[in-house]
């Protein structure tokens, strides 16, 4: 290795041309500046890679994993039924579901306050698929970053064309798989496989959504890329209110790195020997900038565009190894630590968030575990409030709406309880079968002698007995003539 082997002389990547420029991905005239982030292999890269492949497999597998007879996660908006890890939420559980979602949201806020943008860098599908699926394929087909840049900026040759064609075809195939998996979260693979074999006109809505999702995925990972994080993502925009000086961030240590200077190993040896004034540990090699997927320079301080992907940590660590300096010039830290203080994990906001999360999930668990196995509702069938029969009796036409909220198939019967003179005729078969999660409506005629009414109404009682041994008695106001 030569004395100046880490100072490759490579042209420093252009960051921002002038203070008026605000984005690293735009040129002065507002055109897209294409980024070619170099892959930096290191300990964080390896850990993220393992997690990324695990998450990819999980995303594909979840709609296939049954829990309590339903996919591990299924958001069936058409039937207004949401299955989450074996729990099924129905329209009657809207408040319960809202409480659950608020709990999840607060958990994200707490994790962001503690761990910063760890989700963006490690778990977000945008980062996971771009960095560990689409970009590696692109590198394999089109070559390393400097080769791709040269080819893209050069004339349109056959070599350029066939590589683009192969890449886009593979990207399209992946987008198809991802979009269908995504749609399976809403309709289930069972339905999806049947629809895929049928006439598209029968399920045009599904084909439209699948085609749109495929197009969006292809556009995002093929073209839009880092702009999703720097321009479009609302979570990224809210970072400034969720982070504080104790949150974990990926940061350059200016105390150690400054004054930065490009210099040879020989000069650094002289600095170490005290022969000349020592500069900071940053040798201004731009490795951290060249690897950044959002094109920023971490040495400019905490920026909204930083997705905490840790690529600059790996890049800088490998430079530190080469110049025999301790790793960690760029590292996970907090603003307080960089200013000589300590990171406070227990602070007012994390304490309040944690207390709220415990409260919300405790209430959620309580309501969920005490939730009725069957959701039952009685209503009057639209039309006449009652019918006077020729034999001096009064008939009310009622509708019982019953939902099976258990995970087992069940059946039920309806019987009159009070007053004793009440008769009941069920329209249709009885007992009534109910699949898990199914809701059914049963119409009945409730008949009473006119003499049973003292005024214009009386309270009738009905018992619903289920095949699993549960039963419930409900009351409903029956109407009669004015006497
Ligand atoms: S921070 Fe590290 S990687 Fe970035 S320019 Fe300085 S020495 Fe190079
Ligand atoms: S600055 Fe570092 S951590 Fe932030 S996005 Fe760029 S490479 Fe990733």
In the structure encoding, which two tokens stand for residue 220, read together?
């995002």
Of all ligands present, the nearest one to the C-alpha of 279 is 1
3-state secondary structure of 181: helix
Would the CB of 313 count as within 6 Å of ligand 1?
no
pLDDT grade for 9, boundaries at 50, 70 and 90: very low
Q: What is the mean pLDDT of residues 226-251?
A: 88
When comparing pLDDT for 347 and 173, which is higher?
173
**Rounded CA gap, 47 and 52, in Å?**
9
Residue with the two structure tokens 């594909």? 60
**Rounded CA gap, 461 and 464, in Å?**
10
Closest C-alpha residue for ligand 1 atom 2: 316
Residue 70 confidence (pLDDT): 82
Residue 123 confidence (pLDDT): 94
Residue 385 confidence (pLDDT): 85
Closest C-alpha residue for ligand 2 atom 2: 312
Q: Which atom of ligand 1 is nearest to the CA of 281?
A: 7
Alpha carbon dihedral 161, 166, 169, 175, in 10-degree steps, equals -110
Mean residue pLDDT of the chain comes to 89
Mutation pick for ligand 1 pocket among 12, 283, 322 (CB with most ligand atoms within 8 Å): 283
pLDDT digit string (tens) for 81-113? 888 887 788 777 888 888 989 999 999 999 999
Range with lowest mean pLDDT among 81-95, 167-181, 213-227, 425-439: 81-95
Nearest to 73 by CA among 206, 189, 216: 189
Closest C-alpha residue for ligand 1 atom 6: 282
Peptide bond into 431 cis (omega under 30): yes
**Rounded CA gap, 112 and 124, in Å?**
13
C-alpha of residue 254 to centroid of ligand 1, in Å: 11
CB 45 within 8 A of CB 53: no
Residue with the two structure tokens 């009414």? 453
In the structure encoding, which two tokens stand for residue 265, read together?
């190993």
3-state secondary structure of 168: helix
pLDDT digit string (tens) for 285-327? 999 999 999 999 999 998 889 999 999 999 999 999 999 999 9
Nearest to 75 by CA among 89, 94, 65: 89
Residue 180 confidence (pLDDT): 95
Residue with the two structure tokens 């925009």? 237
**Strands, E assignment, 11-134:** 66-67, 70-71, 73-76, 81-84, 87-89
Q: What is the mean pLDDT of residues 235-256?
A: 89
pLDDT over 70 for what percent of the chain?
A: 95
Residue 242's Cα: distance from chain center in Å? 18
Closest C-alpha residue for ligand 1 atom 8: 285
Range with lowest mean pLDDT among 217-226, 232-241, 384-393, 438-447: 232-241
pLDDT digit string (tens) for 437-481? 888 999 999 999 998 888 888 999 999 999 999 999 999 999 998
Residue 11 confidence (pLDDT): 46
pLDDT digit string (tens) for 117-169? 999 999 999 999 999 999 999 999 999 999 999 999 999 999 999 999 999 99
**1 pLDDT exceeds 50?**
no
As a whole number of angstroms, the longest Cα–Cα distance in the chain is: 119
CB atoms within 10 A of CB 91: 13
Mutation pick for ligand 1 pocket among 284, 318, 324 (CB with most ligand atoms within 8 Å): 284
C-alpha of residue 121 to centroid of ligand 2, in Å: 9
pLDDT digit string (tens) for 25-68? 777 777 888 999 999 999 999 999 999 999 999 999 999 998 87
Kindly state the DSSP code that residue 220 receives in the 8-state scheme: I
**3 pLDDT exceeds 70?**
no
Would the CB of 308 count as within 6 Å of ligand 2?
yes
pLDDT grade for 411, boundaries at 50, 70 and 90: very high
When comparing pLDDT for 172 and 190, which is higher?
172
What is the SS3 assignment for 406-432? CCCCEEEEEEEEECCCCEEEECCCCCE
pLDDT grade for 4, boundaries at 50, 70 and 90: very low
* Angle value at C-alpha 473, between 472 and 475, nearest 5 degrees: 140
Identify the structural domains of the chain with CATH numbers, from first to last: 1-371 (no CATH), 374-479 (2.60.40.10)
**Rounded CA gap, 475 and 458, in Å?**
10
Residue 18 confidence (pLDDT): 53
pLDDT grade for 235, boundaries at 50, 70 and 90: confident
Nearest to 444 by CA among 471, 413, 473, 421: 413
**5 pLDDT exceeds 60?**
no
**182 pLDDT exceeds 80?**
yes
């Amino acid at each position: 290795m030569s004395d100046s082997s880490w100072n490759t002389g490579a042209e420093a990547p252009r960051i921002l041309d002038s203070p008026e420029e605000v984005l690293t991905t735009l040129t002065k005239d507002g055109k897209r500046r294409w980024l070619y982030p170099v892959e930096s292999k290191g300990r964080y890269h390896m850990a993220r890679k393992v997690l990324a492949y695990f998450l990819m497999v999980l995303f594909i597998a979840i709609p296939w994993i049954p829990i309590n007879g339903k996919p591990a996660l299924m958001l069936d908006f058409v039937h207004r039924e949401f299955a989450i890890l074996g729990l099924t939420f129905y329209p009657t559980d809207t408040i319960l579901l809202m409480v659950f979602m608020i709990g999840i949201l607060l958990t994200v806020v707490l994790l962001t306050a503690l761990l910063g943008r760890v989700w963006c860098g490690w778990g977000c599908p945008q980062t996971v698929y771009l960095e560990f699926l689409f970009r590696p394929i692109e590198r394999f087909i089109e070559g390393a970053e400097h080769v791709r840049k040269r080819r893209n900026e050069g004339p349109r040759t056959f070599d350029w064309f066939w590589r683009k064609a192969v890449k886009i075809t593979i990207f399209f195939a992946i987008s198809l798989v991802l979009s269908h998996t995504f749609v399976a979260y809403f309709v289930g693979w069972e339905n999806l496989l049947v629809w895929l074999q049928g006439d598209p006109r029968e399920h045009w809505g599904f084909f439209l959504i699948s085609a749109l999702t495929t197009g969006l995925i292809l556009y995002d990972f093929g073209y839009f890329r880092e702009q999703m994080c720097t321009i479009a993502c609302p979570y990224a925009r809210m970072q400034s209110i969720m982070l504080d000086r104790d949150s974990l961030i990926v940061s350059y240590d200016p105390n150690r790195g400054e004054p930065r200077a490009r210099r040879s190993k020989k000069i650094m040896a002289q600095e170490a020997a005290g022969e000349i004034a020592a500069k900071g540990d940053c040798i201004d090699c731009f490795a951290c900038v060249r690897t950044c997927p959002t094109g920023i320079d971490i040495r400019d301080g905490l920026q909204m565009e930083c997705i905490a992907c840790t690529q600059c940590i790996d890049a800088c660590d490998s430079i530190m190894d080469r110049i025999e300096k301790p790793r960690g010039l760029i590292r996970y830290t907090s603003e307080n630590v960089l200013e000589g203080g300590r990171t406070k994990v227990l602070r007012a906001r994390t304490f309040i968030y944690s207390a709220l999360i415990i409260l919300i999930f405790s209430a959620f668990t309580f309501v969920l575990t005490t939730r009725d196995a069957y959701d039952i509702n009685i209503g009057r069938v639209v039309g006449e409030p009652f019918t006077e029969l020729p034999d001096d009796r009064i008939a009310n036409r009622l509708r019982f709406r019953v939902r099976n909220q258990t995970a087992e198939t069940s059946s039920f019967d309806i019987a009159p309880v009070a007053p004793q003179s009440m008769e009941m005729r069920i329209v249709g078969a009885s007992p009534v079968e109910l699949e898990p999660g199914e809701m059914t409506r049963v119409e009945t005629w409730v008949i009473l002698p006119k003499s049973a009414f003292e005024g214009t109404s009386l309270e009738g009682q009905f018992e619903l007995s289920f095949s699993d041994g549960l039963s419930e008695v409900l009351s409903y106001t029956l109407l009669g003539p004015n006497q």
